[in-house]
Amino acid sequence: MNTKFYYGSGSPFSWAVWLVLEHKQIAYELIVMSLQSGELKEADFLSINPHGKVPVIVDADFSLWESLAIIEYLEERYPEYSVFPSNIRERAVARRIAAETHTYLYPALRRLLELTLFRSSGNGNPAEIKLSLKDLGEQLDYFENQLQSQYCVSDLSLADFTLYPLLALIKRLEAKQPQHSVTALIGPKLTTFMQNIEQLTYFDKTTPPHWKG
Ligand SMILES: N[C@@H](CCC(=O)N[C@@H](CS)C(=O)NCC(=O)O)C(=O)O
Protein backbone atom coordinates (compact mmCIF):
# COMPACT_ATOMS: atom_id res chain seq x y z
CA MET A 1 0.00 0.00 0.00
CA ASN A 2 1.29 3.49 -0.88
CA THR A 3 2.26 5.94 1.82
CA LYS A 4 -0.51 8.49 2.27
CA PHE A 5 0.74 12.07 2.27
CA TYR A 6 -1.55 14.68 3.81
CA TYR A 7 -0.52 17.98 2.34
CA GLY A 8 -1.57 21.65 2.48
CA SER A 9 -1.02 23.91 -0.53
CA GLY A 10 1.37 26.74 0.38
CA SER A 11 2.51 25.06 3.61
CA PRO A 12 6.32 25.21 3.59
CA PHE A 13 6.59 22.17 5.88
CA SER A 14 4.38 20.14 3.54
CA TRP A 15 6.42 21.30 0.57
CA ALA A 16 9.67 20.09 2.18
CA VAL A 17 8.20 16.61 2.65
CA TRP A 18 6.86 16.60 -0.90
CA LEU A 19 10.30 17.42 -2.30
CA VAL A 20 11.81 14.57 -0.27
CA LEU A 21 9.14 12.09 -1.42
CA GLU A 22 9.84 13.05 -5.02
CA HIS A 23 13.61 13.09 -4.63
CA LYS A 24 13.56 9.62 -3.11
CA GLN A 25 11.10 8.36 -5.75
CA ILE A 26 8.77 6.99 -3.10
CA ALA A 27 5.29 5.92 -4.22
CA TYR A 28 2.73 7.99 -2.34
CA GLU A 29 -0.88 9.06 -2.47
CA LEU A 30 -1.26 12.85 -2.26
CA ILE A 31 -4.19 14.00 -0.13
CA VAL A 32 -4.65 17.76 -0.38
CA MET A 33 -6.13 19.22 2.79
CA SER A 34 -7.56 22.71 3.08
CA LEU A 35 -5.71 24.97 5.53
CA GLN A 36 -8.78 27.17 5.90
CA SER A 37 -11.94 25.07 5.83
CA GLY A 38 -11.56 23.61 9.32
CA GLU A 39 -11.12 20.03 8.10
CA LEU A 40 -7.73 19.80 9.84
CA LYS A 41 -9.54 20.17 13.17
CA GLU A 42 -12.17 17.50 12.48
CA ALA A 43 -12.09 14.26 14.42
CA ASP A 44 -10.97 12.13 11.46
CA PHE A 45 -7.90 14.25 10.87
CA LEU A 46 -7.15 14.79 14.57
CA SER A 47 -6.99 11.00 14.89
CA ILE A 48 -3.95 10.99 12.59
CA ASN A 49 -2.40 14.23 13.92
CA PRO A 50 -3.65 15.51 17.28
CA HIS A 51 -2.21 18.96 16.45
CA GLY A 52 -4.51 19.23 13.43
CA LYS A 53 -1.70 20.30 11.10
CA VAL A 54 -0.09 19.17 7.88
CA PRO A 55 2.11 17.50 6.79
CA VAL A 56 1.31 13.99 7.96
CA ILE A 57 2.25 10.69 6.41
CA VAL A 58 0.38 7.46 7.05
CA ASP A 59 2.31 4.31 6.31
CA ALA A 60 -0.09 1.37 6.76
CA ASP A 61 -1.19 1.73 10.41
CA PHE A 62 1.60 4.17 11.33
CA SER A 63 0.81 7.86 11.33
CA LEU A 64 3.60 10.45 11.65
CA TRP A 65 3.54 14.24 11.83
CA GLU A 66 6.23 16.94 12.16
CA SER A 67 8.06 17.42 8.88
CA LEU A 68 11.59 16.90 10.21
CA ALA A 69 10.61 13.62 11.88
CA ILE A 70 8.82 12.57 8.68
CA ILE A 71 11.96 13.25 6.62
CA GLU A 72 14.11 11.22 9.03
CA TYR A 73 11.59 8.36 8.88
CA LEU A 74 11.43 8.39 5.08
CA GLU A 75 15.21 8.30 4.92
CA GLU A 76 15.44 5.25 7.18
CA ARG A 77 12.51 3.47 5.56
CA TYR A 78 13.68 4.23 2.00
CA PRO A 79 17.46 4.72 2.14
CA GLU A 80 17.87 5.03 -1.63
CA TYR A 81 18.44 8.55 -3.03
CA SER A 82 19.55 9.76 0.36
CA VAL A 83 18.81 13.26 1.59
CA PHE A 84 21.39 12.89 4.37
CA PRO A 85 25.03 13.58 3.46
CA SER A 86 27.41 10.63 3.85
CA ASN A 87 29.96 12.67 5.79
CA ILE A 88 29.15 12.71 9.52
CA ARG A 89 29.89 16.42 9.98
CA GLU A 90 27.99 17.46 6.88
CA ARG A 91 25.09 15.30 8.04
CA ALA A 92 25.11 17.11 11.38
CA VAL A 93 25.28 20.52 9.68
CA ALA A 94 22.41 19.60 7.34
CA ARG A 95 20.30 18.58 10.35
CA ARG A 96 21.30 21.78 12.14
CA ILE A 97 20.34 24.01 9.21
CA ALA A 98 17.00 22.22 8.84
CA ALA A 99 16.32 22.83 12.55
CA GLU A 100 17.42 26.47 12.23
CA THR A 101 14.95 27.09 9.41
CA HIS A 102 12.16 26.04 11.80
CA THR A 103 13.49 27.76 14.90
CA TYR A 104 14.69 31.09 13.50
CA LEU A 105 13.80 31.73 9.86
CA TYR A 106 10.17 30.57 9.94
CA PRO A 107 9.15 32.64 13.00
CA ALA A 108 10.70 35.78 11.46
CA LEU A 109 8.87 35.17 8.17
CA ARG A 110 5.64 34.20 9.92
CA ARG A 111 5.58 37.54 11.79
CA LEU A 112 5.88 39.43 8.52
CA LEU A 113 3.20 37.30 6.86
CA GLU A 114 0.84 37.90 9.75
CA LEU A 115 1.30 41.65 9.22
CA THR A 116 0.76 41.38 5.47
CA LEU A 117 -0.40 38.41 3.39
CA PHE A 118 -2.26 36.56 6.13
CA ARG A 119 -4.52 39.49 6.99
CA SER A 120 -8.06 39.49 5.67
CA SER A 121 -8.02 43.25 5.06
CA GLY A 122 -5.26 45.86 4.99
CA ASN A 123 -1.73 45.53 6.25
CA GLY A 124 -0.56 45.82 9.85
CA ASN A 125 1.24 48.68 11.54
CA PRO A 126 3.98 50.06 9.19
CA ALA A 127 6.49 50.38 12.07
CA GLU A 128 5.95 46.70 12.95
CA ILE A 129 6.31 45.71 9.31
CA LYS A 130 9.59 47.64 9.15
CA LEU A 131 10.90 45.90 12.25
CA SER A 132 9.78 42.56 10.96
CA LEU A 133 11.56 43.15 7.63
CA LYS A 134 14.72 43.98 9.56
CA ASP A 135 14.49 40.75 11.60
CA LEU A 136 13.83 38.69 8.50
CA GLY A 137 16.77 40.37 6.74
CA GLU A 138 19.08 39.39 9.60
CA GLN A 139 17.93 35.80 9.39
CA LEU A 140 18.42 35.72 5.64
CA ASP A 141 21.93 37.13 6.02
CA TYR A 142 22.70 34.28 8.38
CA PHE A 143 21.55 31.65 5.86
CA GLU A 144 23.34 33.46 3.04
CA ASN A 145 26.56 33.07 4.99
CA GLN A 146 25.90 29.40 5.73
CA LEU A 147 25.67 28.33 2.09
CA GLN A 148 28.81 26.38 1.24
CA SER A 149 28.25 25.40 -2.37
CA GLN A 150 25.32 25.26 -4.75
CA TYR A 151 23.46 23.69 -1.83
CA CYS A 152 23.57 24.15 1.96
CA VAL A 153 26.25 21.47 2.28
CA SER A 154 28.08 19.76 -0.56
CA ASP A 155 25.24 17.34 -1.43
CA LEU A 156 21.57 18.04 -1.92
CA SER A 157 20.04 17.34 1.48
CA LEU A 158 17.16 17.84 3.88
CA ALA A 159 18.64 21.28 4.68
CA ASP A 160 17.90 22.42 1.12
CA PHE A 161 14.43 20.94 1.09
CA THR A 162 13.49 22.70 4.32
CA LEU A 163 15.10 26.04 3.43
CA TYR A 164 13.77 26.41 -0.11
CA PRO A 165 10.02 26.56 0.62
CA LEU A 166 10.53 29.42 3.08
CA LEU A 167 12.47 31.42 0.49
CA ALA A 168 9.72 30.69 -2.04
CA LEU A 169 7.16 32.09 0.39
CA ILE A 170 9.20 35.29 0.50
CA LYS A 171 9.05 35.44 -3.31
CA ARG A 172 5.32 34.87 -3.08
CA LEU A 173 4.97 37.83 -0.71
CA GLU A 174 6.97 39.96 -3.18
CA ALA A 175 4.63 38.97 -6.03
CA LYS A 176 1.57 39.85 -3.96
CA GLN A 177 2.91 42.96 -2.19
CA PRO A 178 5.93 44.35 -4.08
CA GLN A 179 5.90 47.54 -1.99
CA HIS A 180 7.94 45.82 0.77
CA SER A 181 10.80 44.89 -1.64
CA VAL A 182 11.18 41.76 0.42
CA THR A 183 13.17 39.78 -2.17
CA ALA A 184 15.89 42.45 -1.91
CA LEU A 185 16.64 40.77 1.44
CA ILE A 186 17.57 37.53 -0.34
CA GLY A 187 21.31 37.64 -1.06
CA PRO A 188 23.08 36.48 -4.25
CA LYS A 189 24.07 33.05 -2.93
CA LEU A 190 20.53 32.31 -1.77
CA THR A 191 19.18 33.54 -5.11
CA THR A 192 21.43 31.10 -6.98
CA PHE A 193 20.52 28.39 -4.48
CA MET A 194 16.82 28.92 -5.26
CA GLN A 195 17.52 28.60 -8.97
CA ASN A 196 19.40 25.34 -8.32
CA ILE A 197 16.40 23.87 -6.51
CA GLU A 198 14.00 25.14 -9.19
CA GLN A 199 16.01 23.21 -11.79
CA LEU A 200 15.42 19.84 -10.14
CA THR A 201 13.46 17.61 -12.50
CA TYR A 202 10.63 17.05 -10.00
CA PHE A 203 10.49 20.65 -8.76
CA ASP A 204 7.55 21.84 -10.89
CA LYS A 205 5.38 18.96 -9.73
CA THR A 206 5.73 20.17 -6.14
CA THR A 207 4.85 23.84 -6.70
CA PRO A 208 1.83 24.65 -4.49
CA PRO A 209 -1.23 23.97 -6.69
CA HIS A 210 -2.95 27.24 -5.77
CA TRP A 211 0.14 29.23 -6.83
CA LYS A 212 -0.09 27.90 -10.37
CA GLY A 213 -1.94 29.72 -13.12
N1 LIG B 1 6.32 21.92 13.04
C2 LIG B 1 5.33 21.44 12.09
C3 LIG B 1 4.56 22.62 11.57
C4 LIG B 1 3.28 22.22 10.84
C5 LIG B 1 2.41 23.44 10.54
O6 LIG B 1 2.53 24.48 11.19
N7 LIG B 1 1.54 23.28 9.57
C8 LIG B 1 0.64 24.36 9.20
C9 LIG B 1 0.76 24.68 7.72
S10 LIG B 1 2.33 25.42 7.36
C11 LIG B 1 -0.81 23.95 9.42
O12 LIG B 1 -1.16 22.81 9.21
N13 LIG B 1 -1.64 24.91 9.80
C14 LIG B 1 -3.05 24.71 9.90
C15 LIG B 1 -3.59 24.98 11.26
O16 LIG B 1 -2.81 25.19 12.20
O17 LIG B 1 -4.82 24.97 11.39
C18 LIG B 1 6.05 20.65 10.98
O19 LIG B 1 7.24 20.82 10.80
O20 LIG B 1 5.40 19.81 10.34
Would you say the C-alpha torsion 41, 47, 53, 54 has a positive or negative sign?
negative
Nearest CA to ligand 1 atom 11: 53
Nearest CA to ligand 1 atom 9: 11
Collapsing DSSP to helix, strand or coil, 177 comes out as: coil
Is 90 exceeded by the pLDDT of residue 1? no
Question: What's the pLDDT tens digit per position in 137-159?
Answer: 999 999 999 997 899 999 999 99
Residue 102 DSSP code: I
Collapsing DSSP to helix, strand or coil, 31 comes out as: strand
Q: Could you tell me the distance, in angstroms and rounded to a whole number, from the CA of residue 87 to the centre of ligand 1? A: 31
If one residue of 5, 11, 71 were mutated to test the ligand 1 pocket, choosing by the most ligand atoms within 8 A of its CB, it would be: 11
Q: Where do the structural domains in the chain lie, given as residue ranges?
A: 3-83, 88-198
Question: Which percentage of the chain shows pLDDT scores above 70?
Answer: 99
Q: CB–CB of 99/68 below 8 Å?
A: yes
Question: What's the pLDDT tens digit per position in 73-91?
Answer: 999 999 999 999 999 999 9
If one residue of 7, 13, 31 were mutated to test the ligand 1 pocket, choosing by the most ligand atoms within 8 A of its CB, it would be: 13
CA separation (Å) from 127 to 119, 123, 132, 180?
16, 11, 9, 12
Interhelix angle for 88-100 vs 126-146, to 10°?
Answer: 180
- pLDDT at residue number 212: 87
Q: Could you tell me the distance, in angstroms and rounded to a whole number, from the CA of residue 72 to the centre of ligand 1? A: 18
This prediction has a pTM of: 0.97
Point out which residues pair with 4 in neighbouring strands. Answer: 29, 58
Fold of 3-83: Glutaredoxin (3.40.30)
CATH dotted code for 88-198: 1.20.1050.10
